[in-house]
Structure 1
Amino acid sequence: MENGMDSPRGNAGSTDPDSMPADLSEALKLATKESHELAENSEFMRNFQKGQVTRDQFKLLLESLYFIYTALEEEIERNKDHPAFAPLYFPSELHRKEALEQDLEYFHGPGWRSRIECPRATGKYVSQIQEVGRREPELLVAHAYIRYMGDLSGGQVLKKVAQKALQLPSTGEGLAFFTFDRVTNATKFKQLYRSRMNTLEINRETKERVLDEANRAFLLNVEVFAELEQLKGQNQEHGVSMPADLSEALKLATKESHELAENSEFMRNFQKGQVTRGSVQAVTGISVLHLHGAGRGDREEQGSPGLRPSLLPLRAAPERGPGAGSGIFPRARLEEPHRVSEGHREICVPDPGGGAQGTRAPRGPRLHQVHGRPVWGAGTEEGGPESIAAAQHGRGARILHL
């Protein structure tokens, strides 16, 4: 075969014919040890195993795998009755083409077929599989073995890595390739597959050619991984493609700035409980978000209230009375009591400072419901739920101190 790799075992794996195990599965494991490690230790796979894989890289991998498995499964169908392959025909349990189509549609959308192309190294791999299937079907077992057994072994580790690194749904979208619904026990199925391999009626010369072909397949995988790593560099140079979904695009685009905010000194200290009254007062004094209605006309037109920031001049309470706030949030109140207009009926914010309108000292903060929404308010008799009811009916309420 004209592929430039006629003697792969001489470079990436050698087995003394006299010491070759009798079982084909054991002989394959031994003969491909070096080329297998070469593929696993490629830069692309090392980074993947560390979780250093981007969404674009993962899509490129899935695209390459789609072309590879399309070719492999076409040749398997062509040779499913061949005596050197028939015992290994498990289409419902193993075939991956349909799963890859699901994943590509998840990442690219319904028009995914027009958006993918076969890279050079992947095309070389595909051509080798087609050559074997059409001219030397007795060697097809080598390609099926390294692909499907690998998917049921290390592939399950990569599934978890990809799900975490790319923040993919726990329900499995985007990871169908790694999911074998018809294989209930991977370990037992691999044992069955290997035992079937050992029943293949092939002579010693054919067996050696199978070992050579398996090494060749691993080396072709190494070339595919090297090209994917190269394409990664090109993508970084020309910018990363934006996901079609706005939510996904926002998650991807804000990843670094999100981490920057989370890792700020203030937030790191806050998460450790190292926060003072003054620092929280400074933050809460900047702005308080509250729900509001945009007026009856806007409410009917838009169907829901909006959000807007309200700048409130806060100051710490001069003394700590019954029910005063504790913990990291200080007790503070507005300089002047305010009333909630009818356009702001979604918030109950009574003034529990005592004195005004006969309200009593708070009994402690409580969580109230306003139009089905939770509102943190003071638990006074006159300044609590009754003021909420007043707000709901448009009568207004005093604004709650924190």
Structure 2
Amino acid sequence: MTVLDVTVPFSTQIREASQAQHTEAENSTFMSDLLSGRLGVSAFRRYTEQLWFVYRALEGVTDTLAGDPVAAPFLRPELFRTSALERDLDHLHEGADWRSALRPLPATETYAARVLEVANGWPGGYVAHHYTRYLGDLSGGQVIRGIAEKTWGFAHKGDGVRFYVFDGIANPAAFKREYRALLDAVPVDGPERLRIVDECRRAFALNTALFADLAEATR
């Protein structure tokens, strides 16, 4: 049974307890091939398409959670990504009507459904998914942006990679420190913190499953 050390900041506990799952997701075949340039821009487009479903789930519930003491502090408009994803997809599809034809992969559907499930009954679980996505976008996501710009010729921080550009965050390092401080102060007890840690692991596993579906779809 996992036991959290109360002398260690909660943000550190989350990072350390989910490190194995995080590493597995980062080292998936799809992500490794994407970052190495072995995949074409069509694979990047497919990835962006699937992210759209996940972020619609994450951001479509913000009004519901706006008054919740656990989740509300994390609902920062400067993090919202859906409109940026839609701008990227308009560019990647060259203005075509992509919304009518787009469908989630099975793993994406499962992932988005889990986000909605916790958002509608367990705010701590929603925070776990919020953390794994947005802090990842501000960190490793910037590596993806740089490679996409270099490999497929997107303009620096331009259409196609807007998802990775946080115009409302002037100092990402300071913002991440503030975010971790919010995690450290989350108003829940030890057993609930253990549940949140477990949900972080699950969130990374859902990402790994999504990458596996993408690998299959891009063969």
TM-score, scaled to structure 2: 0.95
Pair 1:95-2:80 in alignment: yes
Match for 2:90 among 83, 105, 114? 105
Give the AA of the match of 1:204.
G
Aligned length: 218
Query: What is the deviation of 1:20?
Result: 5.9
Whole-Å separation in 1 of the counterparts to 2:210 and 2:7: 30
Q: Secondary structure at the match of 1:187?
A: helix
Match for 2:164 among 161, 172, 178? 178
Decide whether the 8 Å contact of 1:21 with 1:27 is kept in 2.
no
Structure 1 match to 2:56: 70
Decide whether the 8 Å contact of 1:53 with 1:165 is kept in 2.
no
Match for 1:126 among 112, 119, 142? 112
How big is each residue's C-alpha offset from its partner over 1:314-362, in whole Å with a ceiling of 9 and x where there is no partner? xxxxxxxxxxxxxxxxxxxxxxxxxxxxxxxxxxxxxxxxxxxxxxxxx
Q: Tell me: higher relative CO, structure 1 or 2? Use CA pairs within 8 A at least 6 residues apart.
A: 2
Map residues 3-402 of structure 1 onto 2, 5 A cutoff. Answer: 16-19=2-5, 22-91=8-77, 93-108=78-93, 109-170=95-156, 172-233=158-219
Whole-Å separation in 1 of the counterparts to 2:157 and 2:69: 40
- Specify every segment of 5 or more residues in structure 1 that has no aligned partner in the other structure, as ranges: 1-14, 234-402
Structure 2 match to 1:364: none
Give the AA of the match of 1:101.
E
Decide whether the 8 Å contact of 2:34 with 2:43 is kept in 1.
no
Query: What is the deviation of 1:21?
Result: 5.3
Aligned Cα root-mean-square deviation (Å)? 1.4
Whole-Å separation in 2 of the counterparts to 1:45 and 1:95: 23
Query: What is the deviation of 1:84?
Result: 0.8
Q: Secondary structure at the match of 1:188?
A: helix
- Specify every segment of 5 or more residues in structure 2 that has no aligned partner in the other structure, as ranges: none
- Structure of greater Rg: 1
Whole-Å separation in 1 of the counterparts to 2:156 and 2:10: 38
Q: Residues 173 and 17 (structure 1 numbering): CA distance in 2 closer, same or farther, change over 3 Å?
A: same
Q: Residues 18 and 125 (structure 1 numbering): CA distance in 2 closer, same or farther, change over 3 Å?
A: closer
Decide whether the 8 Å contact of 1:151 with 1:178 is kept in 2.
yes
Q: Secondary structure at the match of 1:180?
A: coil
Query: What is the deviation of 1:131?
Result: 0.5
Whole-Å separation in 2 of the counterparts to 1:171 and 1:145: 23
Q: Residues 21 and 154 (structure 1 numbering): CA distance in 2 closer, same or farther, change over 3 Å?
A: farther
Q: Residues 64 and 20 (structure 1 numbering): CA distance in 2 closer, same or farther, change over 3 Å?
A: farther
Q: Secondary structure at the match of 1:202?
A: coil
Decide whether the 8 Å contact of 1:53 with 1:162 is kept in 2.
no
Whole-Å separation in 2 of the counterparts to 1:208 and 1:180: 31
Q: Secondary structure at the match of 1:118?
A: coil
How big is each residue's C-alpha offset from its partner over 1:147-184, in whole Å with a ceiling of 9 and x where there is no partner? 00000000001100011111222361211101000011
Identity among equivalent positions (%) equals 36
TM-score, scaled to structure 1: 0.53
Decide whether the 8 Å contact of 1:139 with 1:213 is kept in 2.
yes
Whole-Å separation in 1 of the counterparts to 2:44 and 2:135: 20
Query: Going by fraction, where is strand more abundant, 1 or 2?
Result: 1
